[in-house]
A and B are shown apart, each in its own frame.
Chain A
Amino acid sequence: MATEQQTKTGDGEDQQPLGLTVASAAVAAAVIVPLLWLVKSALDVGFSEAVALVTRPTTVEVFLNSTVLVVLVTAACVALGVPLAYLTVRTDLPFKRFWTIIIALPLVIPSYIGAFAFVSAFGPRGVFQRLLEPLGVESLPEIYGLPGAVLVLTLYTYPYVFITTRAALKSMDTTLIDAARTLNHTRWEAFKRVTIPQIRPAVAAGALLAALYALSDFGTPAIMKFDAFTRVIYVEFGSFGRDTATLLSLQLVAVTLLILTLESQIRGDERTTTGGRSGSVMRLGRWKYPAIGFAALVAAVALVVPLGILLTWFAEGVAETSQSLAFQPEYAFNSVLVAAATAGAATVAGLPVAYLAARHPSRVSSVFERSTYVGYAVPGVVLGLALVFFGSSYATPIYQTLYLLVFAYVIRFLPQAVGSLRASFLRVDPALPEAARTLGETPSGAFRHVTLPLVAPGLFGGAALVFLTTMKELPATLLLRPAGFKTLVTHIWTAYAAGYFGQAAVPALILLFVSGLSMLVIITQEGYDVK
Chain B
Amino acid sequence: MQDHDREPRGHGRRRFIAATAALGLGSLAGCTGLGGEEETTTEAEGGEPVQQIGSGRSPFGDREITGGVSISEMPELSGELTLYSGRGEALVGELISFFEEYYDDFTIRPRYNSATELVNQILTEGENSPADVFFSVNAGSLGALKDEGRTQSLPTDVLDLVRDEFHDPDGQWTGTSGRARTVPFNTDQFADSDIPDDIMAFPETEAFRDNIGWAPTYSSFQAFITAMRVLEGEEATKEWLQGMQDLGVTEFNDEFLVSQAVADGEIGAGFANHYYIQRILAGRSEAPLGTAFTAGDAGSIFNVAGALVLDTADDSDLATNFVRHLLSAEAQDYFARTTFEYPLVSGVDPIGELPPIDELNPPEGLDLTQLADLEGTVRLLREVGVL
Contacts and interface: CB of A to CB of B under 8 A. Distances in A.
Contact of B112 (A381, A494, A499): A494
Nearest to A125: B266
A189 B178 CA distance: 71
Contact of B128 (A321, A381, A396): A396
A500 B283 CA distance: 10
Contact of B375 (A222, A241, A321): A241
A319 B278 CA distance: 14
Contacts of A321: 90
B90 A322 contact: yes
B89 interface: yes
A478 B117 contact: yes
Contact of A322 (B91, B113, B253): B91
B25 interface: no
A300 to B, nearest CB: 27
Contacts of A393: 126, 128
Contacts of B128: 392-393, 396, 399
A158 to B, nearest CB: 25
Contact of A240 (B91, B124, B283, B375): B375
Contacts of A58: 382
Contacts, number: 123
A482 to B, nearest CB: 9
A431 interface: no
A322 B116 contact: no
Q: Give the size category of A's interface with B.
A: 35 or more
Interface stretch (A65-73, A86-94, A323-331): A323-331
A319 B283 contact: yes
Contacts of A344: none
A478 B91 CA distance: 17
A438 interface: no
A235 interface: yes
Contacts of B111: 400, 483
Contact of A235 (B121, B130, B217, B276): B217
Contact of B117 (A237, A495, A503): A237
A403 interface: no
A323 B283 CA distance: 15
Contacts of B55: 320, 323
Interface in A357-394: 381, 385, 388-389, 392-393
A79 to B, nearest CB: 30
Interface in B174-223: 217, 219, 222
A176 interface: no
Contact of A392 (B4, B125, B253): B125
Nearest to B144: A240
Interface SS majority for chain B = helix
Contacts of B117: 237, 381, 478-479
A380 to B, nearest CB: 11
A382 B1 CA distance: 36
Interface string A322-354: 111110000000000000000000000000000
A324 B374 contact: no
Interface in A301-329: 319-326
A239 B120 CA distance: 10
Contacts of A322: 54, 90-91, 93-94, 338
A483 B110 contact: yes
A325 B94 CA distance: 9
A239 B110 contact: no
Contacts of B382: 58
B374 A392 contact: no
B5 interface: yes
B90 A325 contact: yes
Q: Give the size category of B's interface with A.
A: 35 or more
A399 B251 CA distance: 38
Interface string B72-90: 0000000000100000111
Contacts of B251: 225
B90 A223 contact: no
Given A388-B124, A396-B128, A494-B89, A235 B338 contact: no
Given A319-B282, A494-B90, A392 B217 contact: no
Of the listed residues A222, A326, A498, the one surrounded by the most CB atoms of chain B closer than 10 A to its CB is A498
Contacts of B120: 237, 240, 242, 385
A260 to B, nearest CB: 27
Nearest to B58: A320
Contact of A484 (B4, B59, B110, B129): B110
Nearest to B113: A478
A389 B130 CA distance: 13
Interface in B32-80: 54-55, 57, 59
A521 to B, nearest CB: 32
A324 B95 CA distance: 10
Contacts of B125: 388-389, 392
B15 interface: no
Contacts of A232: 387
Contacts of B219: 238
Interface in A477-493: 478-479, 483-484
B94 A323 contact: yes
Contact of B124 (A326, A385, A497): A385
Interface of B: 1, 4-5, 54-55, 57, 59, 82, 88-91, 93-94, 97, 109-114, 116-117, 119-121, 123-126, 128-130, 141, 144, 217, 219, 222, 251, 253, 256, 260, 264-266, 276, 279, 282-283, 338, 374-375, 377-378, 382, 387
14 contacts: A232-B387, A234-B217, A235-B387, A238-B219, A238-B222, A239-B222, A242-B124, A322-B91, A324-B1, A389-B125, A392-B129, A393-B128, A478-B113, A494-B90
Interface of A: 58, 124-125, 222-223, 225, 232, 234-242, 319-326, 381, 385, 388-389, 392-393, 396, 399-400, 478-479, 483-484, 494-495, 497-500, 503
9 nearest interchain CB pairs?
A324-B93, A498-B90, A483-B109, A239-B374, A499-B256, A392-B128, A392-B125, A239-B378, A323-B1
Given A399-B128, A483-B109, A484-B109, 16 more contacts: A235-B378, A238-B219, A238-B222, A238-B374, A239-B222, A239-B374, A240-B120, A242-B120, A320-B55, A325-B89, A385-B120, A388-B121, A392-B126, A392-B130, A494-B90, A495-B90
